[in-house]
Chains A and B, each alone.
Chain A
Amino acid sequence: MNEAHLIDAQGLGKTYGSLAVLIDANFTVSAGEIRALVGSNGAGKSTLIKILTGAIAPTTGTVKVDGKELVLGSPTEMINSGIACIYQHSNLAPAMTVLDNIFLGRQPTKRFGLLDRKRQRREAEELLQRHAIQIDLDALVSTLPTVKQKEVEILKALALNARILLMDEPTGWLAASDVAKLHATIRTLKSSGVAIVYISHMLDEIFAVCDTVTVMRDGRIISEGKVADITRPSLVKLMVGEKLAKDSAQAGKFKRMARGTGKVRLSANGLTKRGVFSDISFDLFAGEIFCITGLIGSKRTEFLHTLFGSDRFDSGELKVDGKVISFKSPTQAISNGMGFVTEDRHREGLMLGLSISNNLVMATLRKFHKFGLLKRKEIYSATGEMITDLNIQPPDPIKPVRLLSGGNQQKVLLGKWLNLKPKFLLLDEPTVGVDVGAKAEIYAILRAERDKGAAILVVSSDLEEVMTISDRIAVMVSGRLVAIHDADKTTLAEIIGEIGGAAR
């Protein structure tokens, strides 16, 4: 087995000052192997990946590809050695064709630097054939479904002769049915001898597609083995340690509170936005968590924005606490007690350069000033409490949010809205790119808010999440609500059926 290692990293370590983020990691992957890399945020995964992509140089250790030792800390050297990374977010040029994207920045040229389009096409077709991927080379990337766009990214890497593919949360933005398609592609890559490192928080996917798994915790590789030899509970236990594993296992056993206290807080009646969504009707009760699930692209995000006043619906009636209203701006929605945890925390949620404390009060400044003067002491005590309550790490109120892990950033974003003591809380994909531990914490926070009587509306494509936290579940397909269930009276199979069945 040993001589077949395509990539062989030995004794990798990385320290920043006195802080060791990666300790003596030995990591090997063979050709044709799909290796899962798992661990909570801060476990050292990203550091390991950054070393392998050349983004940073390790403090100690060596990396060999095909037995040849590499110069570390150089992205060019890593690419030339056949290591490529596919990131969670798309790195494609949407207005260009698939073919152009594959060769973007290094098109084959003829004499005088003219593009050699024929050769470009020939090479791309060879690539498709070799890896048994089917895609229209002339399609514009923006017209492709997300899963196909991922394939374009993979092709782009393969065109660089990548033999080791690092995939960071590759299904983060994919809907459930597309995950299987991507996995099929990954298996074909495996059979053509590519080594794949699959980094994901989605344990189902690891069991579905990976051969072997490496578990990291606190900067160390703590376990390695065949996926077939491990059970899901023991994997979770390895990842997060004893205590949180229990929490996560019990998450499904919490009491369901369908229709909460029985008091209707928000009532949507035939809400329609032409060409986007139509005829959406449901009641949202105080003290319940109502999840809208469905495929990505089913217009749930757009719907939330029209509730929050950052967009408008064309027709239909919205009642908030019995009054017919449509919010003209987020300002108005907020003053009516509505909070909105947006989907993309970097683009729409947080001010990354500002401190944890400033982000936490950003939506509730009106509570923290008197006659136009900021009440600094109250800000400090309120944000201090919030940091403790939400277990935000590190608990340093003046730390810029940019320096936090994804899970902690998400907790800051959530905390920003909890400061409002919201009567209504809208959440859009509240745990995308968040580790298992932080997920459990976020679920606990949502339940606590529900029990305080908040009406909580969650949009989520993560069915595991939906089944875990919701009191009622609605299914949205192409801008229509096709079903609403009490969570304890439905099954995962039924929900999947409705998502897929009505999609046609």
Chain B
Amino acid sequence: MIARWNLKSSAKLSKLAPYALPLAIVFIVIMFSIAEPAFLKPENLIGIIHQMNLIGIMAVAMTFVIMTGGVDLSVGPVLAISGLTAFFAMDAGLGLPIAIAAALGVGILIGTINGTLVAIFGLPPIIVTLAMLSIVRGLALIWGGPEWHLIRDQDAFTFIGTGHIGGISFSIILLLVFAGAVMFVQKRTPIGLIVAGIGENERAAYLSGHRVRLTKIAIYGLSGMGAALAGIVQSSQVHTSAAVYGEFGTELDVIAAIVLGGTSLMGGNGSIGRTLIGVIFLGVINNGMNILNVTLDIQLITKGVIIVLAMALSELT
């Protein structure tokens, strides 16, 4: 019965699919603005983008991992430990470039370990990165302790999260530049095709002469780097770093944004551009519910339901 329904509907759905998400966003924006006109105020719309800044960076970086049929659950703690790394580096008197390089390096290192365990040892990504989530959080707590570390007198570092260029937040520019770079890699270099190929059929990708393992290690490294970059931006925005940042649920938001963008969790086609639209969609829902004073419990349930629906839809089409 399912197969029959599938056949009939998929022809129609697949025609609509590319527009479904923008249409859904427009629809929801209209609903929210009718319910609460303040929703459309420019400050609020800019606020939405700011709220989604960190999720956006991590979602862009994780899209390739999802495209290969994998997942990276460890992004929350990686965000925290990278923020701590930046703090301790600057605290030790090292310059800003070194602090940033060290923070990004930690993220890339953890991601690469994830990738190695997945690609070389053939372990399931969900278990590897879940274990890594636990390990990295533990390390962050040992290293950073329970206290919040204030980042003072680091104007250049503070600029990353709070500065503006031409009236636009530097952190937003950072997201757009990063997304642009990854999008370029996806669309203009063979890597995007190879990643999609691995997600579609790993065996066929190997037999087509692609370095499947190396590619997988690299894309988990990229996901770790994205989490580290988000950690730098967050520490800069709030002038502190702490072991508890990137709290539980961060990874779900990131995965949700990617899936809402239409990338299948089973692997295969996906796109950075659509991930960004997914990020905006998630941001609109979060913000709209806040403005309408929807309580946190209902917000959580609503978000969960939307994510499951989006996944079900993406598997059908």
Report whether A365 and B204 are in contact in the complex, using a CB–CB cutoff of 8 Å.
no
Report whether B209 and A334 are in contact in the complex, using a CB–CB cutoff of 8 Å.
yes
Report whether B206 and A416 are in contact in the complex, using a CB–CB cutoff of 8 Å.
no
Report whether A351 and B206 are in contact in the complex, using a CB–CB cutoff of 8 Å.
no
Q: Which of B196, B197, B203, B269 meets A347, CB within 8 Å?
A: B203
Question: Per-position contact with A for B193-215: 1 when CB-CB < 8 Å, else 0?
Answer: 11011001101111111110000
Residue ID in chain B nearest A17 by CB atoms: B11
Considering only residues 87-143 of chain B, those with a C-beta below 8 Å from chain A are: none
A263 to chain B, nearest CB (A): 25
Report whether B211 and A351 are in contact in the complex, using a CB–CB cutoff of 8 Å.
no
Q: Which of B3, B4, B187, B205 meets A351, CB within 8 Å?
A: B205
Known interface pairs A75-B1, A374-B190; A310-B204 also in contact (CB < 8 Å): no
Report whether A342 and B207 are in contact in the complex, using a CB–CB cutoff of 8 Å.
yes
Q: Which of A16, A57, A330 meets B11, CB within 8 Å?
A: A16
Known interface pairs A351-B197, A362-B197; A368-B204 also in contact (CB < 8 Å): no
Known interface pairs A56-B7, A75-B1, A369-B189; A354-B197 also in contact (CB < 8 Å): yes
Q: 11 additional contacts, CB 8 Å, given A342-B204, A416-B208?
A: A57-B4, A331-B211, A333-B209, A347-B204, A351-B197, A351-B268, A352-B201, A358-B193, A362-B197, A365-B194, A369-B190
Distance between Cα atoms of A310 and B4 in the complex (Å): 38
Q: Is B188 an interface residue (CB 8 A)?
A: yes
B14 to chain A, nearest CB (A): 9
What are 5 pairs between A and B in contact, CB < 8 Å? A75-B3, A331-B209, A347-B201, A351-B197, A354-B268
Q: Which of B1, B187, B209, B210 meets A74, CB within 8 Å?
A: B1
Report whether A348 and B189 are in contact in the complex, using a CB–CB cutoff of 8 Å.
no
Distance between Cα atoms of A422 and B211 in the complex (Å): 20
Report whether B1 and A365 are in contact in the complex, using a CB–CB cutoff of 8 Å.
no
Interface residues on A, range: 35 or more
Considering only residues 164-222 of chain B, those with a C-beta below 8 Å from chain A are: 187-190, 193-194, 196-197, 200-201, 203-211
**B residues less than 8 Å from A374 (CB atoms):** 187-190, 193
Distance between Cα atoms of A419 and B65 in the complex (Å): 29
Considering only residues 314-365 of chain A, those with a C-beta below 8 Å from chain B are: 329-331, 333-335, 340, 342, 347-354, 358, 361-363, 365
Q: Which of B188, B200, B203, B210 meets A354, CB within 8 Å?
A: B200
Report whether A348 and B207 are in contact in the complex, using a CB–CB cutoff of 8 Å.
yes
**B residues less than 8 Å from A362 (CB atoms):** 193, 197, 204-205, 208
Q: Is A105 an interface residue (CB 8 A)?
A: no
Closest 9 CB pairs of A and B: A351-B200, A334-B209, A363-B208, A365-B190, A331-B209, A353-B268, A362-B208, A330-B209, A351-B201
Interface residues on B, range: 20 to 34
Report whether A330 and B206 are in contact in the complex, using a CB–CB cutoff of 8 Å.
yes
A6 to chain B, nearest CB (A): 24
Distance between Cα atoms of A57 and B8 in the complex (Å): 10
Report whether B4 and A354 are in contact in the complex, using a CB–CB cutoff of 8 Å.
no
**B residues less than 8 Å from A372 (CB atoms):** 189-190
Report whether B201 and A55 are in contact in the complex, using a CB–CB cutoff of 8 Å.
no
A147 to chain B, nearest CB (A): 27
Q: Is A73 an interface residue (CB 8 A)?
A: yes
Q: Is A373 an interface residue (CB 8 A)?
A: yes
Report whether A330 and B190 are in contact in the complex, using a CB–CB cutoff of 8 Å.
no
Question: Per-position contact with B for A291-325: 1 when CB-CB < 8 Å, else 0?
Answer: 00000000000000000101000000000000000
Report whether B4 and A55 are in contact in the complex, using a CB–CB cutoff of 8 Å.
yes
Q: Which of A56, A351, A369 meets B204, CB within 8 Å?
A: A351
Report whether B204 and A55 are in contact in the complex, using a CB–CB cutoff of 8 Å.
no
Report whether B207 and A310 are in contact in the complex, using a CB–CB cutoff of 8 Å.
yes
Report whether A340 and B193 are in contact in the complex, using a CB–CB cutoff of 8 Å.
no
Report whether A330 and B207 are in contact in the complex, using a CB–CB cutoff of 8 Å.
yes
Residue ID in chain B nearest A351 by CB atoms: B200
Considering only residues 354-402 of chain A, those with a C-beta below 8 Å from chain B are: 354, 358, 361-363, 365-366, 368-369, 372-374
Considering only residues 1-60 of chain B, those with a C-beta below 8 Å from chain A are: 1, 3-4, 7-8, 11
**A residues less than 8 Å from B7 (CB atoms):** 55-56
Question: Per-position contact with B for A46-67: 1 when CB-CB < 8 Å, else 0?
Answer: 0000000011110000000000
Distance between Cα atoms of A459 and B196 in the complex (Å): 30
Report whether B209 and A350 are in contact in the complex, using a CB–CB cutoff of 8 Å.
no
Interface core residue of A16, A17, A348 (most chain B CB under 10 Å): A348
Distance between Cα atoms of A494 and B60 in the complex (Å): 63
Report whether A351 and B196 are in contact in the complex, using a CB–CB cutoff of 8 Å.
yes
Report whether B190 and A358 are in contact in the complex, using a CB–CB cutoff of 8 Å.
no
Residue ID in chain B nearest A331 by CB atoms: B209
A17 to chain B, nearest CB (A): 8
Q: Which of B189, B196, B210 meets A331, CB within 8 Å?
A: B210
Considering only residues 211-268 of chain B, those with a C-beta below 8 Å from chain A are: 211, 268
Distance between Cα atoms of A347 and B11 in the complex (Å): 24
**A residues less than 8 Å from B210 (CB atoms):** 331, 365
Known interface pairs A350-B201, A354-B196; A330-B189 also in contact (CB < 8 Å): no
Distance between Cα atoms of A285 and B44 in the complex (Å): 72
Distance between Cα atoms of A56 and B207 in the complex (Å): 35
Distance between Cα atoms of A428 and B194 in the complex (Å): 24
Report whether A56 and B200 are in contact in the complex, using a CB–CB cutoff of 8 Å.
no
Residue ID in chain B nearest A358 by CB atoms: B193
Report whether A358 and B204 are in contact in the complex, using a CB–CB cutoff of 8 Å.
no
Residue ID in chain B nearest A372 by CB atoms: B189
Distance between Cα atoms of A340 and B207 in the complex (Å): 8
Interface core residue of A352, A363, A368 (most chain B CB under 10 Å): A363
Residue ID in chain A nearest B3 by CB atoms: A55
**B residues less than 8 Å from A56 (CB atoms):** 4, 7-8
Distance between Cα atoms of A463 and B38 in the complex (Å): 76
Distance between Cα atoms of A56 and B3 in the complex (Å): 8
Distance between Cα atoms of A330 and B204 in the complex (Å): 11
B39 to chain A, nearest CB (A): 37
**B residues less than 8 Å from A347 (CB atoms):** 201, 203-204
Distance between Cα atoms of A73 and B211 in the complex (Å): 45
**B residues less than 8 Å from A369 (CB atoms):** 189-190
Distance between Cα atoms of A389 and B189 in the complex (Å): 27
Residue ID in chain A nearest B191 by CB atoms: A372
